[in-house]
Amino acid sequence: MSVAGGTLPVVGCGPAVAGTGRGRVRRERRVAGATRRRWTDEGRSVLLRGLGVLGSGIRREPRLFGVALAGSALYGVMTVGTSWALGRVTDRVVLPAFAEGRTTTGALAGAFALLVAVSLAKSVGIVGRRVGAARMQYALQAGDRRAVTRQYLRLPLSWHHRHPTGQLLSNANADVEATWYPVAPMPMAVGVLVMLAVAAVAMLLVDVVLALVGFLVFPAIFALNVVYQRRLSPRATRAQQLRAEVSEVAHESFDGGLVVKTLGREEEETARFRRSAEALRDAQVQVGRVRGVFDPLLEALPNLGVLGVLVVGSMRIEAGAIGAAELVQVAYLFTLLAFPVRAIGWVLGEIPRSVVGYDRVRRVLEATGGLPYGGVAPATGGPVDLSVRGVRFAYDTADGPVDVLHDIALDARPGQVVAVVGPTGAGKSTLTNLLVRLVDPAAGEVLLDGTDARELVPGGVAARAALVPQQSFLFDDDVRGNVTLGADVPDERVWAALRLAQADGFVAALPQGLDTRVGERGSSLSGGQRQRLALARAVVRRPRLLVLDDATSAVDPSVEAAILAGLRDPSEAMAPATVVVVAYRKATITLADEVVYVERGRVAARGTHRALLAGSEGYRRLVTAYEQQADESTGERSGVVA
């Protein structure tokens, strides 16, 4: 090969070049064939799995499905009966009236009664089908929502940490709805099968030739529905997944609204949500395009069948094979079948979404890691005798487990106040979660009155212990509801708990007192007020073990001292209890009977405040850091003045 007067060597490519076109075509055909087979297998798999999901719903609600199916079957039979009745009226009333120029009152009354009777029976079928299908759909959705919610409550915090809240909301709402969405048209689709069977018999009895025309239309409708479902399946699957992603982003944006606004990130957050919303929009547009192509075709096929029947029927009338009444009966039957046959397409079209929603819900319901329980009932009366022995705990992360606590051991005698002190990240909050059994240790045991917490009956720990966490969560309810959480507690006990939490003053000053709504997350209250209401919520339960995880950090030191003094002395609000408090203020620590100093996930020292000040350098440095900083600031100011 010459190029610009030279020679371009070509090594070993003669035969290959000659066969490249045919080879590429063969490869493309193989790839295309494999892709078609994969899509076919996936479509078949989705269809079979979707039918399995609907079958499980039928097994769960057989009576409601039976009502809906009976109504649908009655509707199908009466739909065919309407065409038969119209044929009889045409043959015995309309045609004789045209031929003779008159008719009788009896003939008109009989025709009217026949048509009304068939219409009433069909109406009964419609009502039964819709009521049964709707109640079945809502019952299945409600059952799954309850099951998902119970599973959320059963699963440990470690599982929740791995799943975004928006995704969990989508699982309990959008995915459950998508799972059982095809239930509404399903009885109608089954009734359509009955209708088609009856219609086939009716058309065969009227005229075999016209029946054959109909038999050509129905397979075409079913084939088009199958192609429709296969094209729609991957697009509907992606749209359903993107719905969950949009829910996750929206929940994060709303939940972090304060951060977004204070840091001026509105535009960035809006752009992040826009990207997710636009991806969902594009996916929905793809679904809409498929439906836009196939919906007119599904509408057109029955109408084409009607035209075919009219053309063939006209020729049959001219040949004297049938009469006008028979043609009217078959043609009208086709017009009635056009809409109900679409129900089959609705079911097939929604099956992909149903399968995706079902898979997402099942992943929640089949999740493992729940806390095991024993059969030991909690002891009653008196403060808890708390003992922690050799506890180790690790959080699961994408890079593997990360140890947080190592061989933790501590004791709290009944009625004792124990302060847990340590730097940030030492594992203090994790330890409090272990004490009230929000999580279980990887090794060791937490003993309440000498019984391992894992051996108690469900609710056994909650009956003894109460936790007031760092973040005080309040519901969008009134003060009473936030303190009692729906329990039947007299107002006298509520006020007593508020007094102990030093919250009675500001609650009494609220416009409606206990009936004042506090807004979402307590938005109408200050941080200190929210903390005091959260403390009152724990106190009103009269726990035998009270765990405070830095629960008074937002209140004034004097108020905190009054609260802790009230916790030490039994009163009408607080029964005698063992108190474990995570603290950093020196005034709080000095009120404790014993101090446990935690450092890097281990108990570095234990003893009284004075003993630890003398014997633990890390403890002394931590608790005096604020005082040293204050002294340095004072000295600096004095130097400037000098």
List, for residues 500-532, the tens digit of each pLDDT value. 888 888 888 888 888 888 887 778 888 888 888
Does position 27 have pLDDT exceeding 60, yes or no?
A: no
- Which residue in 574, 585, 610, 582 sits closest to 415, CA to CA? 574
H/E run at residue 605 = strand 602-607
pLDDT at 81: 75
Measured between alpha carbons, how far is 603 from 431 in angstroms, rounded to an integer?
11
Provide the percentage of residues in the chain whose pLDDT is more than 90. 2
Q: How confident is the model at residue 640 (pLDDT cuts 50, 70, 90)?
A: very low
Least trusted range by pLDDT, from 143-157, 253-267, 489-503: 253-267
Distance of CA 164 to the CA centre of its chain: 11
- The DSSP result for 456-503, as a single string, is BPTTHHHHHEEEE-SS----SSBHHHHHHTT----HHHHHHHHHHTT-
Both tokens of residue 115? Answer: 């048509």
Least trusted range by pLDDT, from 333-342, 402-411, 497-506, 581-590: 333-342
Within a 10 A sphere around the Cβ of 479, how many other Cβ atoms? 25
Within a 10 A sphere around the Cβ of 437, how many other Cβ atoms? 22
Tokens 């069948």 sit on residue:
305
pLDDT at 338: 58
pLDDT in tens, 275-291: 888 888 888 888 888 87
Q: Are 499 and 533 in contact (CB under 8 A)?
A: no
Measured between alpha carbons, how far is 254 from 242 in angstroms, rounded to an integer?
18
pLDDT in tens, 462-489: 888 888 887 888 888 888 888 888 888 8
Q: How confident is the model at residue 336 (pLDDT cuts 50, 70, 90)?
A: low
Does position 579 have pLDDT exceeding 50, yes or no?
A: yes
Both tokens of residue 579? Answer: 């108190």
Q: Return the bridge partners of 420, or none.
A: 582, 596
Does position 3 have pLDDT exceeding 50, yes or no?
A: no
Q: Return the bridge partners of 446, or none.
A: 388
- The DSSP result for 173-205, as a single string, is IIIHHHHHGGGTTHHHHHHHHHHHHHHHHHHHH
Does position 121 have pLDDT exceeding 70, yes or no?
A: yes
Measured between alpha carbons, how far is 163 from 254 in angstroms, rounded to an integer?
17
Does position 446 have pLDDT exceeding 80, yes or no?
A: yes
286-308 mean pLDDT:
78
Q: Is 69 helix (H, G, I), strand (E, B) or coil?
A: helix
Does position 37 have pLDDT exceeding 50, yes or no?
A: no
Does position 137 have pLDDT exceeding 50, yes or no?
A: yes
- Which residue in 87, 84, 64, 82 sits closest to 133, CA to CA? 64
Q: Are 476 and 519 in contact (CB under 8 A)?
A: yes
Both tokens of residue 516? Answer: 């004042």
588-604 mean pLDDT:
86
Does position 210 have pLDDT exceeding 80, yes or no?
A: no
Tokens 């039947």 sit on residue:
488
Both tokens of residue 568? Answer: 């030490």
End-to-end C-alpha distance for the chain, whole angstroms: 95
Q: How far is CA 100 from CA 186, 327, 349, in A?
A: 48, 21, 52
Measured between alpha carbons, how far is 62 from 65 in angstroms, rounded to an integer?
5
Does position 139 have pLDDT exceeding 60, yes or no?
A: yes
Task: Give the chain's domains with CATH numbers.
Answer: 46-365 (1.20.1560.10), 386-641 (3.40.50.300)
pLDDT at 146: 92
369-386 mean pLDDT:
79
pLDDT at 48: 81
Measured between alpha carbons, how far is 474 from 50 in angstroms, rounded to an integer?
41
Q: How far is CA 170 from CA 35, 174, 175, 242, 583, in A?
A: 32, 5, 6, 11, 38
Q: How confident is the model at residue 44 (pLDDT cuts 50, 70, 90)?
A: low
The DSSP 8-state label assigned to residue 478 in this structure reads B
Q: Are 318 and 203 in contact (CB under 8 A)?
A: no
Q: Is 446 helix (H, G, I), strand (E, B) or coil?
A: strand
Measured between alpha carbons, how far is 74 from 68 in angstroms, rounded to an integer?
10
Both tokens of residue 240? Answer: 């359903």
pLDDT at 227: 79
Residue 381 has phi, psi (to 5 degrees) of: 85, 130
Does position 329 have pLDDT exceeding 80, yes or no?
A: no
375-393 mean pLDDT:
84
Within a 10 A sphere around the Cβ of 137, how many other Cβ atoms? 22
* Amino acid code (one letter) for 377: A
Measured between alpha carbons, how far is 479 from 509 in angstroms, rounded to an integer?
12
Q: What is the mean pLDDT of the chain?
A: 77
Does position 43 have pLDDT exceeding 60, yes or no?
A: no
Q: Are 165 and 251 in contact (CB under 8 A)?
A: yes
Q: How far is CA 436 from CA 410, 460, 477, 496, 544, in A?
A: 15, 10, 25, 24, 12
- For 510, half-sphere exposure in the C-beta direction (CA atoms, 13 angstrom radius) is 19
pLDDT at 342: 64
* Tally: H helices and E strands in the chain: 23, 12
Q: How confident is the model at residue 140 (pLDDT cuts 50, 70, 90)?
A: very high
Both tokens of residue 38? Answer: 């994969």
Residue 306 has phi, psi (to 5 degrees) of: -65, -45
116-138 mean pLDDT:
87
Provide the percentage of residues in the chain whose pLDDT is more than 70. 85
